[in-house]
Amino acid sequence: MVDNPLLYVATGLLVGVLVGLTGVGGGSLTTPILVLGFGQPPTMAVGTDLVFSAVTKLAATASYGFNRRVDWRIVGRLALGSVPGASAVILWFWLTRREAPVVDVVVGRALAWMLLVTGIGLLGQTALQRIGVQVTASSLARAERFKPALTVAVGLALGVTVTMTSVGTGALGVVALLYLYPIRLTADRLVATDIAHALPVSIIAGMGHAALGHVSLPVLGCLLLGSIPGVLIAARTTLRIPPIVTRTLIALMLVAVATRMLAA
């Protein structure tokens, strides 16, 4: 059992509503809340959030895939890098499993830096998309030649960072895809492709963390109990927050949380 289970359910509800309304904020919000708000060890917070994310992304990926919004070629390129990256981090966790305090410190610092980078990436998302369009327009042939390799490299970076911190596939994945494929991916295909790639990474990383005992099943259950109604509530509401407002508010919050974690 967990202390104050209703607070965990409320957290899941909040995250579910935000993700349903805005499409961002899942891992970037849940993990720091578990660490700073509930005092969970960083590795436990990351592992629990990864399984939480995998469950919530499963239905979304199935829906997007059924509606043919996923660019599976890009997903495959990303997975060529992310799957080995995630596996490498899990292997490192396994080799250092007897050094829990050290691992928690490393994961905590990595999480803080990832939140900071994610916040900056959200603030600069529009500018990066504009740069991507300009680069693509000015040197299309050369850009296309290197895009597969660059996409695999992005996948590798995402696989490592997501497994280490549970942050990355959302905001940073979208920013990277905006820069690499500003014309090919429309807004709905961009989100669908990013979520479809996040699913296998979350599953692999979540299973690895679970095998190492980094997942709290009671906390996971409470989060899911709140998030599922939250997503359904958001899906039925007509309220839609402008993307620029959403990105700015979440980015500023992430920068503030990262600063607090780095100062601790």
pLDDT tens for each residue of 28-79: 778 888 888 888 888 898 899 888 888 877 777 777 777 788 889 999 999 9
For position 89, what pLDDT does the model report?
A: 92
Residue type, 205: A
Are residues 244 and 94 in contact, defined by beta-carbon separation less than 8 angstroms?
no
For position 106, what pLDDT does the model report?
A: 82
For position 221, what pLDDT does the model report?
A: 92
- Which structural domain range is residue 256 located in? 5-263
Give the C-alpha distances (Å, rounded to integers) separating 92 from 86, 95, 98.
Answer: 10, 5, 11
Are residues 35 and 45 in contact, defined by beta-carbon separation less than 8 angstroms?
yes
For position 246, what pLDDT does the model report?
A: 62
Q: Give me the residues of the chain with pLDDT under 70, please.
A: 1-2, 19-27, 100, 122, 124-144, 168-171, 187-188, 232, 234-247, 249-250, 253-254, 256-257, 260-261, 263-264
Q: What's the number of domains the chain is made of? A: 1
For position 208, what pLDDT does the model report?
A: 92
Q: At what angle do helices 125-138 and 171-180 cross, to 10 degrees?
A: 20
Give the C-alpha distances (Å, rounded to integers) separating 259 from 54, 91, 109, 221, 255.
Answer: 28, 29, 11, 30, 6
For position 148, what pLDDT does the model report?
A: 87
For position 126, what pLDDT does the model report?
A: 64
pTM of the model: 0.77
For position 85, what pLDDT does the model report?
A: 94
What 8-state DSSP symbol labels residue 185? S
